[in-house]
Structure 1
């Protein structure tokens, strides 16, 4: 029995390495119990103008953040290989479903790998209804750093009002409250 116990942890670790979806499943479970709720405190104020930051979709259509002024823009930077990114996807889908019909709401799921076909195949395979974008211009560090996942929200004036680095549950009351407040303005 003692030998069996000494093998359990190494076997579990090996299982986690060989099957990355297991990590995603564990992370989603931790999110559901409230361990990864985003803090809706305003980020440090920045005077940066993000209007020239541009993204494109699989059709090659380019959207600049300047063209989205007057709308609340949620941007999630992610990658298909990133377990925390994949773990938060169901909460992003729920957030998207809740607000997608609102005329003042835009959601951009930005694939950090610039592989839109692969990203959209992943989204479709997993029944996510939003589409992937890729950046086509530099993104200032004040908008997005080098960590995945990262989610930011711009208000209707194009000002950064929310930034969360790491995975989070965006189908939460606090985040919905922030969105309601921003969309009502």
Structure 2
């Protein structure tokens, strides 16, 4: 009986996580304006309107897997930009209490990509992001074509395979 209840609990938690992370209804980027780490307004949908492949990664300063994922993507970014005409933008989910930590973190890690702030969670809600890290791949026409939740070492190469598919289409 204990095994049955444990199995049932695991199934229910899994289904709940899937339901919370259902971003499949999204087809394009929402019309939301955020600030970058220098305080400049940036319209998110502009990333999908520039004929480039765009990777959007939701992260937070307190999320160790997020930092690891973005560090690893940053290492590959120069080649990705050259090979696939793409860009990477990271969306910080740090709330207003932690937002001051974002710019020092980005500068300390020498990240070479845009970082936007979503301190009120407006974009997070619009894109159905429950917990970071969550990565979206946007094609050259501005359509969201792939979503990945979580991070384990090597996921960036799986993402690159999805990027390659967009270039070969």
TM-score of the pair, normalised by structure 1? 0.62
- SS at 1:80's partner residue? coil
Q: CA RMSD in A?
A: 2.9
Unaligned runs of 5+ in 1: 1-42
Partner of 1:181: 165
- SS at 1:73's partner residue? strand
Partner of 1:60: 39
Contact 2:53 2:84 in 1 (8 A): no
TM-score of the pair, normalised by structure 2? 0.67
Q: CA 1:48/1:103 → structure 2, altered by over 3 Å: closer, same or farther?
A: closer
Partner of 1:72: 53
How far the C-alpha of 1:116 sits from its partner, in A, is 5.1
Question: How many residues of Structure 1 are paired with residues of Structure 2 in the alignment?
Answer: 142
Determine which structure has the larger helix proportion and give its number.
2
- The residue correspondences of 1:15-164 to structure 2 (distance < 5 A) are 45-46=24-25, 48-68=27-47, 69=49, 70-101=51-82, 104-114=85-95, 115=98, 117-135=100-118, 138-139=122-123, 141=125, 143-164=127-148
Equivalent-residue separation in structure 2 for 1:146 and 1:51 (angstroms): 17
Q: CA 1:134/1:102 → structure 2, altered by over 3 Å: closer, same or farther?
A: farther
| CA deviation string 1:36-90 (max 9, x = no partner) | xxxxxxx875355424033321233222233231221111111111122122232
